[in-house]
Structure 1
Amino acid sequence: MDIQLTDNALVIILFIAVLFILMRGVKVVPQAENWVIERLGKYNSTLEGGLNFIIPFIDDVRVKYNMQEQTIDIPSQRVITKDNVSIFIDGIVFIRITDAQSATYSALDVKQMISQLCQTTLRSEIGSLELDETLSSRDDLNASLMQALNNASNEWGLKVTRVEVSDISVPEEVQKAMELQLQATRERRAIETKAQAEKNAVIAEAEALKQKAFLEAEALERTADAERYQQEQLGIGQQLAIEAVNQAMQENPQAAEYLLAKDRVKAFSGLAESDSSNKIVIPVETSELLGSMSLIQHLLKQDK
């Protein structure tokens, strides 16, 4: 009876031992995690999410990595710019483990090394920039940091996805000097803007006067052209009249005497019709006047 109980206990012990060994050989890895497995102290494999099997007591889990994106805080540090201004700066680095084996065996502490590298890179980059450039070129500074960290971290089995300079603190006295400089810059721009506006107003006024003078000169020129054209047409009319008179005189010798007599009669009639009571019109060449009237009468009879 005792022998039978002993055998049953041995079987139960063996069963429990086998079950324990099997449980040690089965590994369920959570999603987004990688486990580094060593066999007898040497790297053997990397287990990914899901059900995995290892050899109990021979294979061992060296380290477990979360493959999700992680952040590393860069502690605030004092750096000096190119123009010898001391500032305080800190930031955040976003990383993702891409190779669990390299992250395990290529670096002792990946996060600590990234933090140290970021601090030294910040000091180097800020030292090549002036204060104004540091404050206004944050995007360029982030890009430079990310490139430098990626170049070094590729061998460590991780990738830097983003770098953000979170805060740049300037000493109080430097802040006051910057505010005074900014105020002076604004005042200078206001003066320059006012001067430019006055300059534009003077130019516009000069252009208006120039345009006015041009239009007046153009108007005078057109008036002169019109008067010249009128004089030319009048001269042409007079020329045609003279030619007509000459033609008439050639055809009728008495035409000149007719015209002269007509003008004399017209002039005498005008004097006679004057309202002046103290004037007496006495023709000097009465005989010639009578002769002219006779000539006119004779010509009128011929026309009939």
Structure 2
Amino acid sequence: MENTEFLIPLLFVVVIVTVIFVKSAIKIVSQADILIVERLGKFHKILDAGFHVIIPFIDQVRTSITIREQLVDITKQQVITKDNVNISVDGIVFLKVTDGKMALYNVDNYKRAIANLAMTTLRGEIGAMLLDDTLSSRDRLNAALQVALGDAADNWGVKIMRVEISEISVPMGIEEAMNMQMKAEREKRAIELKAEADKAALIRNAEALKQEQVLQAEAIERMADAKKYEQIAIAQGQKDAMDMINQSMSQNANAAEFLLARERVAAFSELAKNSSNDKILVPYETSQLIGSLSVLKDFMTSKGAKQ
């Protein structure tokens, strides 16, 4: 009976120790974390995601480190540019632990170390740049910070994924001056664009006028050529007619009288067509008119006989 009373507490203690022992020995690690295990105070191994067993009291989990991408805020700070303008700058650093052992043993606090290094590097980079370059060269600042932080972070088992300058603030007076300068630049650009447009319009108008004058000159030249050809054709026709008349006159003695008589008869016919009742047409020489008609008759008769 006495032995039973003694065994029950002992069994209870053994169960408790066993539970504590098993619980200390079994480690289940999350997918996004790693565990740093030390054996008797010295680094032993890294436990990745999954189920693991360690030796209780001999092996000890020193810390848990996330292997997800982490964000480190660069606190807003006052920085002086190369042209002595005091500006406020802040940013964000994205990093990821690649070696848990180095992240634990090579630096006291890798996040704080990277944040302080980012501030120092940012001061140095902006201190070597003018204000205008600082405001327009965020990509350059981001690249410079990533290179500088990356070299140091490699020794801490950390990889710098990217660096972003989130805000650059300038004093109110400087901002107003910059706005006035930008407004003046826009007005200047507008004037230059208008001047260029006016110049281009003048050039286009001049080219159009030139083209119009060229076309007009070409038209005048073509009209002159057409008139020339017309006059040549008329002269040639008149020449041919004269040649034919001369030939007819040489062949027929009455040809000249025929032509003259034809003109007289045509003139008389035109006068006779006049509808006026107040005019009386009397030939200057009636005998000449009758003679002309006789000549025409004789000429036509002789012409028909030849045919």
Question: TM-score if structure 2 supplies the norm length?
Answer: 0.81
* Structure 2 SS opposite 1:68: coil
Q: State the Cα distance separating 1:254 from its structure 2 match.
A: 4.6
Q: State the Cα distance separating 1:135 from its structure 2 match.
A: 1.8
CA RMSD of aligned residues (A): 3.4
Instruction: Give ranges in structure 2 of 5+ residues lacking alignment.
Output: none
Identity %, equivalent residues: 45
CA contact (8 A) 2:26 2:51 kept: yes
Match of 2:206 in 1: 206
- Separation in 1 of the partners of 2:85 and 2:218? 67
- Separation in 2 of the partners of 1:220 and 1:289? 49
Answer yes or no: is 1:242 the counterpart of 2:242.
yes
- Separation in 2 of the partners of 1:282 and 1:253? 25
* Structure 2 SS opposite 1:156: coil
* Structure 2 SS opposite 1:84: coil
Matches within 5 A, 1:244-259: 244-256=244-256, 258-259=258-259
- Separation in 2 of the partners of 1:288 and 1:11? 176
Match of 2:161 in 1: 161
Answer yes or no: is 1:129 the counterpart of 2:129.
yes
Which deviates more from structure 2 when the two are superposed, residues 100-109 or residues 18-27?
A: 18-27
Q: State the Cα distance separating 1:148 from its structure 2 match.
A: 3.1
Answer yes or no: is 1:98 the counterpart of 2:108.
no
* Structure 1 SS opposite 2:108: coil
- Separation in 2 of the partners of 1:7 and 1:183? 94
Answer yes or no: is 1:26 the counterpart of 2:37.
no
Answer yes or no: is 1:111 the counterpart of 2:111.
yes
Matches within 5 A, 1:1-304: 1-256=1-256, 258-259=258-259, 265=264, 298-303=298-303
Q: State the Cα distance separating 1:153 from its structure 2 match.
A: 1.6
Q: State the Cα distance separating 1:288 from its structure 2 match.
A: 10
Q: State the Cα distance separating 1:157 from its structure 2 match.
A: 1.8
Q: State the Cα distance separating 1:51 from its structure 2 match.
A: 2.6
- With over 3 angstroms needed to count, the CA separation of the structure-2 counterparts of 1:22 and 1:245, relative to structure 1, is same
- With over 3 angstroms needed to count, the CA separation of the structure-2 counterparts of 1:66 and 1:303, relative to structure 1, is closer
Q: State the Cα distance separating 1:119 from its structure 2 match.
A: 1.4
CA contact (8 A) 2:249 2:255 kept: yes
Deviations, residues 52-87 of structure 1 (Å, cap 9, x unaligned): 211111111111112222211111222233433221
Instruction: Give ranges in structure 1 of 5+ residues lacking alignment.
Output: none
Q: State the Cα distance separating 1:130 from its structure 2 match.
A: 2.6
Q: State the Cα distance separating 1:218 from its structure 2 match.
A: 2.5
Number of equivalenced pairs: 299
Which deviates more from structure 2 when the two are superposed, residues 190-199 or residues 178-187?
A: 190-199
Which deviates more from structure 2 when the two are superposed, residues 290-299 or residues 219-228?
A: 290-299
- With over 3 angstroms needed to count, the CA separation of the structure-2 counterparts of 1:266 and 1:125, relative to structure 1, is farther
- Separation in 1 of the partners of 2:294 and 2:114? 137
